[in-house]
Chain A
Amino acid sequence: MPENHWPADWLRGALELCVLGALAEGPTYGYAIGQRLAGAGLGAVKGGTLYPLLTRLEGERLVESSWRAGDGGPGRKYFTLTPAGAAELARRTALWAQFVDVTRRLLPRTQEV
């Protein structure tokens, strides 16, 4: 399946979980998170979608942030998963797996895309 063709509704449902998943690999900054999601096949996530989502996660104390000086650039804001964020990621990942399992059982068998 070509990139960027996921239905918008699916992306809205999965994006927060995927961002938490990207942060599970270690502290990173907004643009790198976007690259990570695009590289995994989720498609390009615009800054206008990504940063408000990160702000919400920060408001829910699932993520924390700090500014680090850049190499000649304007500096970057690094986001880190908090212990509460890691616990929430584990909970939602398990739930997501159950959800995928349920939907797979409901859908007709298809050939690999």
Chain B
Amino acid sequence: MDGADRERLLGRLRDVVGDRYAFADPYEMRLYQYDASPETALPDIVVIPGSAAEVAQVVKICADAKVPITARSAASSLAGGTVPVKRGVVITFARMDRILEIDGDNLRAVVEPGVVNLALSQALKPLGYYYVPDPSSQGACTIGGNVGTNAGGPHTLLYGVTVNHVTGLELALPSGELVQVGGRKAASASGYDLTGLFVGSEGTMGIATKIWVKIQPLPPVQKTLMAVYPDVETASNAVSAIVRSGILPAAIEMMDKLSIQAIEAASHAGYPLDAGAVLLLEVDGIPALVDELGERMAKVCRESGASEVRVAKDEAERQALWKGRKGAFSAMGRLSPDFYVMDGVVPRTRLPETLAKIDAISVRTGFKICNVFHAGDGNLHPLVLFDAFKPGQYEAVLRIGDEILRLCADAGGSVTGEHGIGLEKRENIRYIFSDDDLEVMDRIRRVFDPHGLMNPGKVFPGDGLESAPSRAPEHAPRRASAVAGDGDVWV
């Protein structure tokens, strides 16, 4: 976009949102060039609309001018989902952060896309409800972003991910229309499930401007157990043993030795430093049941090789255990200046062999790899530790990432469990989908977005769009250590 075009477009967008809320100064826009992935790209213009009607007008103006549009909220995407690689206009939802309605009678809440995930659950808590999906970045990430990526979190094992909790959306489409799909009802029997189709489409179909979510009663009691294992293999076999025992806990998380060391250095969560791996397990329910399940689970853990099973004795200890887990990614700054996180999934029964293969990659390449992940779902988060200032390391780490995703795919799994394909995995998507599979998806994308303007350069492999951008970042990757410490910004 040349300077004159940009000025013209900026003027039109300012007519919609006001002068303060649309800008093109490169210095002011710096913040909007990156997300939580290593990739960066500066947009042409940033817009901060204040209402759904403004979003619709902004989208229409951009679409008419054939200018790419990338929606962004907290930008905690780990897959480059909000990096505007084709430049154009970034729409951000800092001003659309209202909880519009809490309707306990119908077990629904209606929110704007910029509402922070945790803020919703905090608002619901006094009423005895909560919103289930809880990405580890829930203190920062927004419901709009959660809809974009179909976000998960530790407690989705039993209760499902974002799509299982969204019943309706208001969408701003490239056509300029504002359309409501689904709504407050529990079920639908009229037309295709556009709500379900849209969730997880990573901003490539349109922009959600209003979201109807399910809320549910808070569990009366939660019990958290920590089981200590000599190594990850024993711990991953224990996961299968727990699932086979007939108890499906609300969460089963695993951390390996390196992760435990990082977490303990950062947050003193109370994990034993000499453990080869720990499992964090949670059951919820009525007190009598939770006690029974806790005992049964502890027994299975011991029988499957746990040297110690510790039950959080009070809420403070429980919170400490979870704080350690949810702050795990930020804690990596204690071990390494940079890390690269993967989001592969394997069937639960393939965890032991997959972790062994990842370890072999670490040994072969010399890069340390930590594992902190949602073991109950088979959703791995290997973190490859590196130093971006050492020449060649970033490229080597990307190759390791590809190799790990390949082995997840070969084990019958997926290349992303909750972070999304984004920019980062658009070539890796071929490991699990054929050209025919992708062609059908692309056809559907074009129904919504015939000119490829909505978050272009994401989800789909390079072909069909313009040439793929370079994967090497323009600037030095940001430092993991910059966010290490108390921040729970990382998923």
A binds B: no
Q: List chain A positions with a Cβ less than 8 A from chain B.
A: none
